[in-house]
Amino acid sequence: MAVNLSKGGKVDLSKEAPSMKNVTVGLGWDPRVTDGADFDLDASIFMLNAEGKCQSDKEFIYYNNLKSACGSVVHTGDNLTGEGDGDDESIEIALDKVPQDVQKIVFLVTIHNAEALKLNFGQVANSFIRLLDKDSGQEVAKYELGEDFSTETALIFGELYRHNGVWKFGAVGQGFTGGLAAALPQYGLN
């Protein structure tokens, strides 16, 4: 039974899914039904150390760098429209292979070209992030972002983080304006 998280909610994976080794993080949203530019949402992943920074740009996984250097985090590719059932973009993470100095993995979603297209998360319906056990296909946790946002064009959907030796997942729901480029400096990237 998956846990439905609301903004700020957390789940302890060692309790909810103790046997889980490989995680699939699914991100989804409804495709645009009206005319105009498609909702092209991009998922980016930041693997952060204890200082909250990426060691190098190799720990920044996005549409032009689909796999981390260590191979523990794999972005399965960019869905340009949100078409199709279920997850629109997914990231696979082998928890055991995540380097020890990575304390936190942040999932950021940005709307491609949002400013020029005058798009924001308030216009995108039914966006969610969910965590699945990749091997069993069981859904562990889900956070529906739905109503919390309007003018934001970049949103931290959630994060996986180490806490006292176990992995936890948190529904962050932190939004800001500006695209992917605006988010990079806070993680020590340019």
Residues in contact with other proteins by CB under 8 A are 32-36, 118, 120-123, 146-147, 149-151
Q: In the complex with other proteins, which residue's Cβ is closer, 59 or 152?
A: 152
Q: In the complex with other proteins, which residue's Cβ is closer, 92 or 148?
A: 148
* Alpha-carbon span 139 to 9, nearest angstrom: 16
Q: In the complex with other proteins, which residue's Cβ is closer, 175 or 188?
A: 175
Tokens 């069993």 correspond to 136
Q: In the complex with other proteins, which residue's Cβ is closer, 34 or 100?
A: 34
* Shortest reach from residue 120's CB to other proteins, in Å: 5
48 Cβ contact partners less than 8 Å away, ≥ 6 residues apart: 54, 59, 102, 103, 104, 105, 106, 187
* Shortest reach from residue 171's CB to other proteins, in Å: 16
* Shortest reach from residue 111's CB to other proteins, in Å: 11
Q: Give the max Cα distance, the chain.
A: 49
Q: How many residues does the chain have?
A: 190
| Measured CA distances, 33 to 10, 26, 29, 36, 125 (Å) | 33, 22, 12, 9, 10
Query: Residue 56: helix, strand or coil by DSSP?
Result: coil
Among candidates 181, 141, 134, which has minimal Cα distance to 157? 141
* Alpha-carbon span 33 to 155, nearest angstrom: 22
* Shortest reach from residue 132's CB to other proteins, in Å: 25
* Shortest reach from residue 137's CB to other proteins, in Å: 26
* Shortest reach from residue 28's CB to other proteins, in Å: 17
Q: In the complex with other proteins, which residue's Cβ is closer, 136 or 150?
A: 150
Tokens 């998280």 correspond to 5
| Cross-strand bridge partners of residue 48 | 104
